[in-house]
A = this chain, B = another copy of it.
Amino acid sequence: MANRREQQRLKSRSFKRSDCPLACALDIVGDRWTLLIVRDLAFGKSRYNEFLGAGEGITTNILAARLRHLEAAGLIRKTLYQKRPPRYEHQLTETGRSLGTAITALVKWANEQLPDTRRTRLR
C-alpha cells in the first residue's frame, strides 16, 4: 500500500501541489518518517538494519519506500557494499545534509513547546 502510493509519487515528478516553497518542501519531507531517516543518516547510520533499529519502529516496507523516495528526490545516494545478496550503504547528499537547519528548528520547537520530549542539547 505504502509502496504503491510511493511509486505513484515518484512516477509523477509532476506531483507538485503548488509552487509555494513550503509546499514543495513538504512534497518531499512532509510525512512522519522521512526526516527521521535524514536524522539517522546525519548521525552516521547508513545501513538498512541500522535504520530499522532506530527507536520509532519503522517497518521494512515503509523504510524501503522512503529510501527510494529520498534517492529519487536527490537527498541521498547509495553505494553497493556487498554483492550477494546485494546490500547498500546510504549517504546524505549536499541537498539532504542542508536539511539540518530545518531539523534543528523542529527539535528546538519540540524542546521548548512539547512537555514530554527528551531535552536535546543543540550545537
> Which A residues lie at the B interface, using CB under 8 A?
16-33, 35-36, 39, 55-57, 95, 98-99, 101-114, 116-120
With A and B bound together, what is the CA distance between A101 and B26 in angstroms?
15
Interface of A is mostly: helix
Contact flag A32-B30 (CB < 8 Å), given A21-B111, A110-B24: yes
With A and B bound together, what is the CA distance between A95 and B115 in angstroms?
12
Asked if A107 and B32 sit within 8 Å, CB to CB, the answer is no
Residues on B with C-beta less than 8 A from A99 are: 109
Which of B27, B32, B120 touches A27 (beta carbons < 8 Å)? Answer: B32
In the A-B complex, the 8 residue pairs with the smallest Cβ-Cβ separation, listed nearest first, are A21-B110, A102-B105, A18-B55, A19-B118, A17-B56, A25-B110, A30-B32, A25-B106
